[in-house]
Chains A and B, each alone.
Chain A
Amino acid sequence: MPLSDQTLTRAEELIARYPQRRSALLPILFLLQAEDGYVSPAGVAQVAQLLGVTKAEVGAVATFYTMFRRRPVGKYLVSVCKTLPCQLRGSREISAAMAERLDVPLGGTDESGMVTVEEVECLAACDGAPVVQVNTENYERLTTEEVMELLEALLRDEVPPPTFAADGSVTEPSTARLHWRLAGLGDPPASLGAPASGAEPAGQRIGREPSPPEPTEQREAGEPQPAEGAGAAAPEAPTDPEPEAPEAAHQAPGDEGPAPEREPRPQAGEGR
Chain B
Amino acid sequence: MTDQVKVLTSRWGDRQAYDIDRFTELDGYASLDAAFERSPEDLVQLVKDSGLRGRGGAGFPTGMKWGFLAKGTGKPTYLVVNADESEPGTFKDMELLERDPHALVEGVIVSSYAIGCRNAFIYLRGECGWPGRRLQGAIDAAYDEGLLGRDIKGSGFDLDVILHRGAGAYICGEETALLSSLEGQRGQPKLRPPFPAVEGLYRAPTTVNNVETIATVPWIVRKGVDWFRSMGTDKSPGPKLFSVSGDVISPGNYEFPLGVPAREVIMGAAGGMRDGKALKAWTPGGSSTPMLTADHLDTPMDFEGIAGAGSLLGTAAVMVFSEDVCIVRACLNFTEFYAHESCGKCTPCREGTDWMRKILGRLESGQGRTEDMDTLKDICDSIFGRSFCALGDGATSPIVSALKFFRDEFDEHVSGGGCPFPGARVAVGAH
Q: Note all chain A residues with C-beta closer than 8 A to B129.
A: 133, 135-138, 169, 171-172, 178
B residues 175-203 with Cβ under 8 Å of A?
181-187, 202
User: In the assembled complex, how far is the CB of residue A95 from the closest CB belonging to chain B, in whole angstroms?
Assistant: 10
A198 close to chain B: CB less than 8 A: no
B51 close to chain A: CB less than 8 A: no
Q: Note all chain B residues with C-beta closer than 8 A to A137.
A: 129-130
User: In the assembled complex, how far is the CB of residue B135 from the closest CB belonging to chain A, in whole angstroms?
Assistant: 11
- Judging by beta carbons under 8 Å apart, are A85 and B319 in contact? yes
- Judging by beta carbons under 8 Å apart, are A88 and B325 in contact? yes
- Judging by beta carbons under 8 Å apart, are A124 and B85 in contact? yes
- Judging by beta carbons under 8 Å apart, are A231 and B250 in contact? no
- Judging by beta carbons under 8 Å apart, are A167 and B10 in contact? no
B285 close to chain A: CB less than 8 A: no
B50 close to chain A: CB less than 8 A: no
The stretch among A2-10, A64-72, A149-157 that forms the contact with chain B is A64-72
- Judging by beta carbons under 8 Å apart, are B244 and A127 in contact? yes
- Judging by beta carbons under 8 Å apart, are A125 and B271 in contact? no
Instruction: Give complex CA distance A66, B163 in Å.
Output: 20
User: In the assembled complex, how far is the CB of residue A170 from the closest CB belonging to chain B, in whole angstroms?
Assistant: 7
User: In the assembled complex, how far is the CB of residue B199 from the closest CB belonging to chain A, in whole angstroms?
Assistant: 14
> Nearest residue in A to B25 (C-beta to C-beta)?
A225
Interface centre among A88, A90, A125, A235 (most CB of B within 10 A): A88
> Nearest residue in B to A123 (C-beta to C-beta)?
B127
Q: Note all chain A residues with C-beta closer than 8 A to B65.
A: none
Instruction: Give complex CA distance A92, B427 in Å.
Output: 7
> Nearest residue in B to A141 (C-beta to C-beta)?
B251
A200 close to chain B: CB less than 8 A: no
Q: Is the interface of B mostly helix, strand, loop or mixed?
A: loop
B residues 108-132 with Cβ under 8 Å of A?
119, 125-130, 132
Interface centre among B10, B184, B187 (most CB of A within 10 A): B184
Interface centre among A29, A186, A272 (most CB of B within 10 A): A272
A122 close to chain B: CB less than 8 A: yes
Contact code string B140-167 (vs A, CB < 8 Å = 1, else 0): 0000000000000000000000111111
Q: Count of B residues near A, CB < 8 Å?
A: 98
B379 close to chain A: CB less than 8 A: no
B337 close to chain A: CB less than 8 A: yes
Instruction: Give complex CA distance A223, B268 in Å.
Output: 23
A27 close to chain B: CB less than 8 A: yes
User: In the assembled complex, how far is the CB of residue B351 from the closest CB belonging to chain A, in whole angstroms?
Assistant: 18
A202 close to chain B: CB less than 8 A: no
A30 close to chain B: CB less than 8 A: yes
User: In the assembled complex, how far is the CB of residue B184 from the closest CB belonging to chain A, in whole angstroms?
Assistant: 3
Known interface pairs A60-B186, A84-B88. Does A68 touch B167 (Cβ–Cβ under 8 Å)?
yes
Interface centre among A19, A30, A269 (most CB of B within 10 A): A269
B227 close to chain A: CB less than 8 A: yes
- Judging by beta carbons under 8 Å apart, are B15 and A67 in contact? no
> Nearest residue in B to A245 (C-beta to C-beta)?
B271
> Nearest residue in B to A53 (C-beta to C-beta)?
B184
User: In the assembled complex, how far is the CB of residue A19 from the closest CB belonging to chain B, in whole angstroms?
Assistant: 6
B381 close to chain A: CB less than 8 A: no
Q: Note all chain B residues with C-beta closer than 8 A to A51.
A: 184
A230 close to chain B: CB less than 8 A: yes
Instruction: Give complex CA distance A122, B244 in Å.
Output: 14
> Nearest residue in B to A24 (C-beta to C-beta)?
B184
Q: Note all chain A residues with C-beta closer than 8 A to B252.
A: 127, 263, 265-266
Q: Note all chain A residues with C-beta closer than 8 A to B341.
A: 121
Known interface pairs A17-B162, A30-B165, A242-B269. Does A122 touch B185 (Cβ–Cβ under 8 Å)?
no
- Judging by beta carbons under 8 Å apart, are A133 and B127 in contact? yes
Instruction: Give complex CA distance A125, B85 in Å.
Output: 10
User: In the assembled complex, how far is the CB of residue B33 from the closest CB belonging to chain A, in whole angstroms?
Assistant: 13
- Judging by beta carbons under 8 Å apart, are B250 and A246 in contact? yes
Instruction: Give complex CA distance A83, B202 in Å.
Output: 34
B295 close to chain A: CB less than 8 A: no
Q: Note all chain A residues with C-beta closer than 8 A to B162.
A: 17-18, 184
Instruction: Give complex CA distance A269, B30 in Å.
Output: 19
> Nearest residue in A to B26 (C-beta to C-beta)?
A226
Interface centre among B15, B182, B336, B340 (most CB of A within 10 A): B15
Known interface pairs A213-B15, A266-B250. Does A67 touch B127 (Cβ–Cβ under 8 Å)?
yes
29 contacts between A and B (CB under 8 A): A23-B164, A26-B165, A64-B187, A82-B429, A84-B246, A87-B426, A88-B246, A88-B325, A121-B86, A121-B337, A123-B127, A124-B93, A126-B88, A126-B91, A127-B243, A127-B245, A127-B251, A129-B245, A168-B18, A168-B133, A214-B14, A223-B13, A226-B26, A233-B4, A240-B4, A246-B250, A268-B6, A268-B255, A270-B13
Known: A122-B87, A170-B133, A230-B5. 4 other contacts (CB 8 A): A26-B164, A93-B427, A129-B251, A182-B167
